[in-house]
Structure 1
């Protein structure tokens, strides 16, 4: 996104004040709570264009109200397709003026990981609720700064782990909590696809590239919610089969996690080959999902033949509706910033292990 073009932003409509005389207080009209929250997407790449924007046409509790882009040529198509008002179109120079726009309740940051912290913090400082795509940020310190900004400004911060909103995944978490199949002993989980692009931010280290930040957080997060525990140590190895493309970052990473009580997880993520499966072996049986993190069609079974294939219309729509409802009801979001921070703490340990070639304890 270093070559984002800039343009003159549209003027904003400010909030108007309401003057009240001393005898008018009895006639004050309390504003009705919004039936739907207005969402502004920041970054109009593939995930926003092909997944989030269409999903926002299916949501019940929120809608696409605005966009933020550094590419002016994208604006006409988005405005025409989604009926976005001129005053709700922003660029990266006038981004902070979102604070003055009552149409926008939530800012959804859909940028390369290196930009997550900055634009999430600025969104919180603008007084807007923040949804941030995974991975949350580049470091534990950045994650904490995002949490602090949200708390300071009294707004919600949610991380885009859509799988934790998905019904079959929720069932997996219930199995662990209720010990339906006994104590979790081992989780085996892998996620990957063959990335054909050769000049994408995913190959640039400074922008948050590398498979661990992108696909790697799927098996990492799954290992954590499948065990209900935080890992205490990791051993990792990074590799590539295409060094001409993946010379700054890893194409594939394999990492083994150790949990309190003896549970383990064998995890893998890759930009070099397709894989998408999770199996949880317990003391009294097992259960698995394959695929476990696809955009649709999550499917699974248990050792005693129970099918795990409850359908869902749209994962992204479910995620955003859940988060919007939490905001409107002033309840805790399902996947807060603290959850994203816990993953990034482990990601940093994984990279240390891959670099040094040994077991790394996680404090």
Structure 2
């Protein structure tokens, strides 16, 4: 892994060097700082859709992470990205030949931003090529797939991180700090509402083969994961009920709305809703014996807003993907430890809960969960 100084020296004397300097010099908050001269994580993005574009734009403000490559099945997108982000042709691949990144020393990590069903095989191939992996959530279709991905990355001795951007968001981290400090007392209850009215019925998110499910696999995972970092516990049981009002749009295996409940070892409980049929649902509420915390909106791209029994939460408004990539570069390059884990093992826990929720909707019974 090169330092930024090495990277820039290779480009010295070119107009590209000037544009690169202006792109990466600002800090995540946008303030002018002294030029960064530490290690640089060189990233290729796999999947150049809407979210991949958002990540690429956000990375332009990073100091420790740099977009240097692309992997896509659409040649026109590769051409456009090459021009926009000054990506060398040798760092461009498609889904058939990206195993060749093994022989490319200028790429350190690949960020997999493709439909859920593709993650398993793509992550394992990236690991076998000897590159670190960042994967969007949910990491896989089920816990079994997730465990195989974790094992493959361990065998290859590469990092497997997951795109849990909220784990680095300042308002979220402030609530976690307060909870750890005992400012809410004993945690009793969490509520997570995650939903929106989904549009185009032909999109991959409504395709069981590509998505692996419906709203729970897309937006509902925020409440699942949020219940864990807000309470500071992992659940030991779940119950769940599914509601479907439009079977034409939400076909067999594609959930429209799921209400689910979680029970924690301390006795705390969570009540959550995941839906593709209602807007204005992006709220977390945490209640304890000494106080409460609320985030609304809780997980969208921002600005996140929150309050507690002590008043408004006044934390910086950040670009989530910029901070995420900076912090993930720190994890990979410097061994930093985040407040809330973002590794593959963390993702497998969420997948085990998802498996249990789906089982509960099918059986109507309380399903035990073992995340140890």
Distance (Å, rounded) in 1 between the aligned partners of 2:146 and 2:178? 29
| 2:49 alignment counterpart | 45
Distance (Å, rounded) in 1 between the aligned partners of 2:301 and 2:122? 25
- State the number of aligned residues: 329
Structure 1 unaligned blocks of 5 or more = 1-32
Normalised by the length of structure 1, the TM-score is 0.88
| Residues 38 and 64, structure 2, Cα contact 8 Å, conserved in 1 | no
Given the alignment of the two structures, is residue 227 of structure 1 paired with residue 231 of structure 2, yes or no? Answer: yes
Which whole-Å deviations, capped at 9, do the CAs of 1:168-194 have from their partners, x for residues lacking one? Answer: 111122222222110110001111111
Q: CA RMSD in A?
A: 1.3
Structure-to-structure mapping, 1:16-55, within 5 angstroms = 35-49=39-53, 51-55=54-58
Given the alignment of the two structures, is residue 251 of structure 1 paired with residue 256 of structure 2, yes or no? Answer: yes
| 1:213 alignment counterpart | 217
| 2:304 alignment counterpart | 298
Normalised by the length of structure 2, the TM-score is 0.86
Q: How far does residue 289 in structure 1 lie from its aligned partner after superposition?
A: 0.7
Pick the aligned partner of 1:322 from 323, 327, 336: 327
| 2:148 alignment counterpart | 145
Distance (Å, rounded) in 2 between the aligned partners of 1:330 and 1:101? 23
The change in CA–CA distance for 1:320 and 1:168 in structure 2 (over 3 A counts) is same
Q: How far does residue 309 in structure 1 lie from its aligned partner after superposition?
A: 3.7
Q: How far does residue 91 in structure 1 lie from its aligned partner after superposition?
A: 0.4
Q: How far does residue 284 in structure 1 lie from its aligned partner after superposition?
A: 0.9
Given the alignment of the two structures, is residue 242 of structure 1 paired with residue 249 of structure 2, yes or no? Answer: no
Structure-to-structure mapping, 1:1-363, within 5 angstroms = 35-49=39-53, 51-208=54-211, 209-248=213-252, 249-274=254-279, 275-305=281-311, 307-332=312-337, 334-363=341-370
| Residues 234 and 360, structure 1, Cα contact 8 Å, conserved in 2 | yes
Which whole-Å deviations, capped at 9, do the CAs of 1:289-343 have from their partners, x for residues lacking one? Answer: 10110101111111132x2141233100100110001211134464111110000
Q: How far does residue 242 in structure 1 lie from its aligned partner after superposition?
A: 2.0
| Residues 184 and 292, structure 2, Cα contact 8 Å, conserved in 1 | yes
* SS in structure 2 of the partner of residue 267 of structure 1: strand
Q: How far does residue 103 in structure 1 lie from its aligned partner after superposition?
A: 1.3
Q: Structure 1 runs of 4+ off > 4 angstroms? A: none
Distance (Å, rounded) in 2 between the aligned partners of 1:201 and 1:133? 15
Q: How far does residue 116 in structure 1 lie from its aligned partner after superposition?
A: 0.9
| Residues 184 and 227, structure 1, Cα contact 8 Å, conserved in 2 | yes
Q: How far does residue 145 in structure 1 lie from its aligned partner after superposition?
A: 1.1
* SS in structure 2 of the partner of residue 64 of structure 1: strand
Q: How far does residue 356 in structure 1 lie from its aligned partner after superposition?
A: 1.3
Q: How far does residue 46 in structure 1 lie from its aligned partner after superposition?
A: 1.1
| Residues 238 and 260, structure 2, Cα contact 8 Å, conserved in 1 | yes
Distance (Å, rounded) in 2 between the aligned partners of 1:173 and 1:136? 24
* SS in structure 1 of the partner of residue 284 of structure 2: strand
Q: How far does residue 264 in structure 1 lie from its aligned partner after superposition?
A: 0.3
Distance (Å, rounded) in 2 between the aligned partners of 1:309 and 1:196? 34
Structure 2 unaligned blocks of 5 or more = 1-36
| Residues 289 and 308, structure 1, Cα contact 8 Å, conserved in 2 | no
